[in-house]
Each structure stands twice: as C-alpha cells, then as structure tokens.
Chains A and B, each alone.
Chain A
Amino acid sequence: MKTKFDIEIIDRYLEGQLNAEDVILFEEKLKSDPEFAQDVEIHKMAINAIYVHSRDELKQKLKDIHDNRVNRSLTVKFPYRIAASIAVIFLISSVVFYITMNRTPNYSKLFDESFVPYQDMISQQSRGENNDDKLLINEAMKYYNQKKFDKAVLLFDKIVKSKQSNDAVIYYYGISCLGSKENNIAIELLSRLSENHESMFYEQSKWYLALGYLYRKDKENTVKTLCDIIQNKTFNNEKANDLLKEIE
C-alpha cells in the first residue's frame, strides 16, 4: 500500500491548522510537485466521498425519524406511551383516593344512625306542682320530646342559669345539645356527669358523650369512651361495640 505523502500534514492544511510558514511551504510544494498536487486532489476527493456517505447516513436517520413521528395526516405523532402512563397513574391514584376516602368512617352518618334521644323520665315528676322551674323543665322536655332540640336548649340554658339545675337537667340538656348540634356544650355537660360515679345518669351520659366525640370526629376520644363502656359493660355496651367496629 502506497504511503506517499503525510496524511496529517494535508489534513492540517485543509483544516487551516498549519502555521503561516508551513502554509507557504505547503503551497509552494503544490506548485512545484505535480505528484504531490495529485495526491492532495485525491485526498480532497476522499474527504468528499466520506462527507457524502456520512450525510446519506444522516439522511437515512432523518427519514426513520420522519416515518416514526409523522403519520399520514402529517401531524407529529402524539406520544401515546407517555399519555398512557400518565392516564394509568391518574387512574390508580384516583382509585386509591376513593378507597381511602371510603375507609374513613363517615362520622356524621354514624352519629345520625346512633343518636337516639333518651327517654323522658323527668317530666312526670313535675306534674302537679306549680313551680316556675318545674314549668320550665316541662316546657323544655315538651320540646325535647318533640325533638325540637334547639328550643329545648334555650329553655335548659335558662334553668341552668337560674341555678336550679340538677343532674337530670344537665343530662337532658346535654342530649338536647347533641340533637341541636351544639356539640361542644354537649361534651362539656356530659363529661361532668360521666366523671361522677354518683350522678344519676352516669352510665348513660358516657354513651352520649361518646356520640358527642363522634360528631366532633374526635376518633381518639370516641374510641376511649366506647372502650370504657364496653369494658365496664355499662349502658349500650353492645351498641358501643358495634359502633367501635365501624370506626376502626
């Protein structure tokens, strides 16, 4: 294989990387040496051929891209794979969201199902006496029995403020508050009763207290109170058990 002239020099000359002196020498040789001139010509032809060949490869690559990306309607293809992945992720997360939302107990619903106002046991006592407070109690209990809890609450409040209240009043006042969704007052009242073993509606107030926490969506306290009821087998402990299962 002939290796007449230095490839490196010719490359450097053509790339413009020779210093000024060497350029002059090179160009002089071109003029004086016909074989050298011929060789440089062939060198250029070779580079040309490489160029055209490589460009054809690039053209082929672009053609492939075109066929891949541009469909018959000449819009760039929609990246279906990406869109599909996004859709799947979205779908999965909505399913997960839905499931977790359903797993969270619907506190309001549970409350409405569980809340049953305690039977009136005090109205009878005030029959026959002509006392303002007892009248008030009767009035209040009348509304209570009619399930007009907000009206009952107003009257109970009056009774309490006139310092004529007792455990029973507090008890029905608390339940009325639950009924009229005055939750925080209900909890306060019923807690007072449930703390004192001696109080008249001790066991029952625990149940309604649990309901109060339930309405407040206070899982911790609801569970605590319900467990208390279940363990001590006090009023409504079966219902407490069922309710506890719903929550957990």
Chain B
Amino acid sequence: MVINNIKYFYSDKKIIQDLLSSSSHANNLALDSLYSRFYPIMHKFVVSNKGTDEEAKDIFQEAMIILYENIKNGKFEQKSSIKTYLFSTGRFLWLNELKKKKKIQFSEMDYESIKDDSPSFSGEPQTDQSTMLISLLDKMGTTCRNILTMYYYKKLSMKEIALQLNFGSPESAKVQKNKCMNKLKNMIEGMNDLRDDIISDRYQIENI
C-alpha cells in the first residue's frame, strides 16, 4: 500500500468524515494521518512506562482499532478530540496490560478512574473464535465477503454499498447481502454439524 499525500492538517471532523466514507482511499489517508501524528506520543508513553517498542506498536494499533470501530458504530461522540480519545484509550490499555503482568500495583481507585475515561468495551464481540470460523469468510466469494464487511463492520448504508460494488440499486444490494448472510450461516451450521458428528463418533469409538 503506497500512500502519497500526507495531510498533516487534517481536522478531527475531516478524519471522521474520511473514516466513515465508503472510499477505501479516503479511509487509508485518514488512518495514515492519524498514525503519523499520534504514534510518536503513544510510543513515548508506553516505552517510558516499562514497555517495549513492540508493545507500543500493539497498544497503539489496538487503540486505533477501537477508535475506528467506535466511530463506525456511533459510540465516539466527539466530546473529546481524537487525540485525547486515542491517547486515553492507549493509556488505559497499557496500564491494564501492566496490571495483568503485575508490573505495577495500583489502587482500585486509580483503576476505576481510568476505566471511566476509556471508551466502553461493552458490545464488543468475543475474539476467541476458532480460526476455522474466520476462514469460512475466506472461502466465500469476494463479492459476498465485501458486502458483509461493508454492511456489518463498516456499517455503510445499502445505497453506499450499491454504489461501491456496482449494484443496480440498493434493493438488489440488500437481496445479495441476505443471500450472502444465508450462505455464511449455512457454512457455520455445516461446520457445527461436522463438529457434532466428530464428537459423537469419537464417543462411539471410545465406548467400543
């Protein structure tokens, strides 16, 4: 991915606009700008708080993902600036990490106050899915994968999806989305059935 124009003078408003846009080019520019502007501060924070370069990278990227998803799902209310939001998210993530590692002891009160500043993680889907489930998406065609990503993750409107993927109308895009979703569900069901069969077979074998 080559990014040529670095807009160093992006306002928060423009960033959000570009992230919400259906154009992946606009998305990429916004992400690049955020990365260039805010990575250094985050890195400095993590490293000066017992972190490694690698950990700084992970924390920052995690904070970026949270920001992105919260902008998409409307949870980012623009009460604070993106800078503040990113930084406080990152700070929370890192301090949490340190707590897990038991590298620092801090009082319950500290923890609570930090938690209030950070975005809520409720509603975030569990990430401990079997990799097999995720690989189902790779097995689907590109169109289905794109429609589902745009609808469920990027939360674009049917109209925008229709435009991006060259559907005749939003209605036909919707029909396709439903078809793709059914396909995915069937694949999951099939996978579950297979797993059930394997388990029951093993049971039978063990009982012989």
Interface residues of chain A, those whose CB is within 8 Å of chain B, are 1-3, 7-8, 39, 42-43, 45-59, 61-66, 68-70, 74-76, 79, 81-82
Q: In the complex the two chains form, what is the Cα distance from A2 to B184 in whole Å?
A: 11
Q: A65-B35, A66-B57, A68-B3 are in contact. Are A2 and B186 (CB under 8 A)?
A: yes
A49-B137 contact, Cβ under 8 Å, with A58-B65, A79-B6:
yes
A50, B153: Cβ atoms closer than 8 Å: yes
B65 x A62 contact (CB < 8 A): yes
**Which of A50, A68, A82 is close to B152, meaning CB atoms less than 8 Å apart?**
A50
Known: A42-B188, A53-B149, A65-B32. 6 other contacts (CB 8 A): A1-B183, A46-B181, A49-B129, A49-B137, A50-B184, A68-B1
Interface presence of B157 (CB below 8 A): no
Contact of A62 among B61, B127, B145, B153 (CB under 8 A): B61
Contact A76 B125 (CB under 8 A): no
A7 touches B6 (CB 8 A): no
B68 part of interface (Cβ distance < 8 Å): yes
In the bound complex, how far is the Cα of B127 from the Cα of A49, in angstroms? Answer: 9
Residues of B near A2 (CB, < 8 A) are 182, 186, 189
B53 beta carbon closer than 8 Å to chain A: yes
Given known A-B contacts A2-B182, A2-B186, A69-B35, A48 and B3 have beta carbons under 8 A apart: no
Question: A residues within 8 A CB of B53?
Answer: 74
Residue of A nearest to B34 (CB): A65
Complex contact A1–B31 (CB within 8 A): no
Is A45 within 8 A of B133, CB to CB? yes
CA distance A119 to B129 in the complex (A): 107
Interface residue? B45 (CB, 8 A): no
The answer to whether A75 and B40 touch across the interface, beta carbons within 8 angstroms, is yes
